[in-house]
């Protein structure tokens, strides 16, 4: 993902004010640039980098900014930039591992309105949306919702129903997805490719639906995370290859590493139940109990099938906590 200063959206896909029933420029003014600095010894520094750039959107008049959590995880310094070029510091309030959302508090008074929270469940396939980046129309994309379906990420992450939009935003992280009512209906997370018959692959953005924020927002503001037990986390990366679950990486010092799970292992079952999909694998782990529970898995390695037991952890305990300002 390129930095927030060296890209622009082709004019052909930029949103035009006359195509929307709301004040497009006013809505785009609520989208801010975000730059995060992460310590070199942070748990996520190797995988996500020590400098991260993306976007966020002001959702409350007191300067509360919603973004995607991987941008701000373990950040020690946050800067927010506005469309007029001003920059102010921010403070990490929360990030939620289950949804992927993150919250930042601007440490200065803002003089533009917040973007209201909308209703992502009401969004229909084909609906026109704006995938909005900081910098106004030239850094935003006029897109449409092309799918609402399950998404499983290799980092132990599942959304029951994510939104997918096209054309894809070139700097997608933390973009505010604005629906036809002029409200934020999701936050940009990833860019993916979808195969097409007799045509080049199509780039899509995966969007975290805003409805997932509503039941946890108060907890995030009070506690920095949802007020419930953490899910069991194994600290591995996995993918699906021909209906098989393959380990493609293991976090150093994580639970799977200590249990000698290795890159290349096939995961056949969890607690005796055969798993065929990534989402099924993660949900079966989470169904066993809270973080700290032992997770029995069946592995296949070098022509041998064997049992392993991983003592799960709480992912948050491996991460640096936000510094108070």
> 48-84: per-residue pLDDT in tens?
999 999 999 999 999 999 999 999 999 999 999 998 8
Pseudo-torsion of CA 282, 283, 285, 287, nearest 10°? Answer: 170
CATH tag, 1-228 = 2.40.10.120
Locus of tokens 């200065």: 108
Pick from 174, 178, 25, 177: which is nearest to 113 by CA?
Answer: 25
CA atoms of 81 and 36, how far apart (whole Å): 12
Mean pLDDT of 119-132: 97
H-helix or E-strand spanning residue 242: none
CATH of 236-318, one of 3.40.228.10, 2.30.42.10, 3.10.250.10, 3.30.70.870: 2.30.42.10
Q: 134 with 55: CB under 8 angstroms? A: yes
Q: What is the CA radius of gyration of the chain?
A: 20
> 225-241: per-residue pLDDT in tens?
999 999 999 999 999 99
CA atoms of 310 and 298, how far apart (whole Å): 11
Task: Quickly count helices (H) and strands (E) in the chain.
Answer: 5, 18
| Portions of the chain given CATH number 2.40.10.120 | 1-228
Q: What predicted TM-score, i.e. pTM, was given to this entire model?
A: 0.94
Tokens of 33: 């640039």
Q: 127 with 180: CB under 8 angstroms? A: yes
> 136-184: per-residue pLDDT in tens?
999 999 999 999 999 999 999 999 999 999 999 999 999 999 999 999 9
6 pLDDT band, cuts 50/70/90, is low
């Amino acid at each position: 993902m390129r930095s927030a200063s060296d890209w622009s959206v082709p004019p052909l896909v930029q949103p035009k004010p006359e195509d929307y029933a709301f004040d497009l420029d006013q809505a785009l003014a609520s989208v801010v640039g975000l730059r995060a600095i992460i310590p070199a010894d942070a748990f996520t520094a190797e995988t996500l980098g020590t400098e991260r750039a993306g976007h966020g959107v002001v959702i409350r008049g007191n300067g509360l900014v919603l973004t995607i959590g991987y941008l701000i995880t373990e950040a020690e310094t946050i800067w927010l930039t506005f469309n007029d070029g001003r920059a102010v510091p921010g403070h990490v309030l929360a990030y939620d591992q289950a949804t992927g959302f993150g919250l930042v508090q601007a440490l200065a008074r803002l003089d533009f309105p917040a973007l209201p929270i909308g209703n992502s469940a009401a969004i229909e396939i084909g609906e026109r949306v704006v995938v909005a980046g900081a910098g106004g129309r030239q850094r935003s994309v006029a897109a449409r919702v092309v799918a609402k379906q399950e998404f499983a990420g290799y980092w132990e992450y599942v959304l029951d129903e994510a939104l997918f939009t096209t054309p894809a935003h070139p700097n997608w992280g933390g973009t505010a997805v604005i629906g036809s009512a002029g409200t934020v209906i999701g936050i940009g997370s990833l860019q993916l490719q979808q195969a097409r018959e007799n045509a080049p692959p199509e780039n899509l953005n995966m969007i975290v639906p805003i409805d997932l924020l509503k039941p946890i927002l108060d907890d995030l503001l009070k506690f920095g995370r949802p007020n419930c037990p953490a899910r069991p986390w194994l600290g591995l990366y996995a993918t699906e290859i021909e209906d098989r679950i393959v380990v493609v990486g293991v976090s150093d010092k994580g639970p799977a590493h200590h249990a000698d799970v290795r890159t290349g292992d096939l995961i056949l079952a969890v607690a005796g139940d055969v798993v065929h999909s990534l989402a099924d694998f993660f949900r079966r782990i989470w169904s066993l109990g809270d973080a700290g529970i032992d997770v029995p898995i069946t592995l296949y390695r070098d022509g041998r099938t064997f049992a392993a037991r991983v003592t799960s952890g709480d992912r948050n305990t491996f991460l640096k906590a936000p510094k108070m300002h």
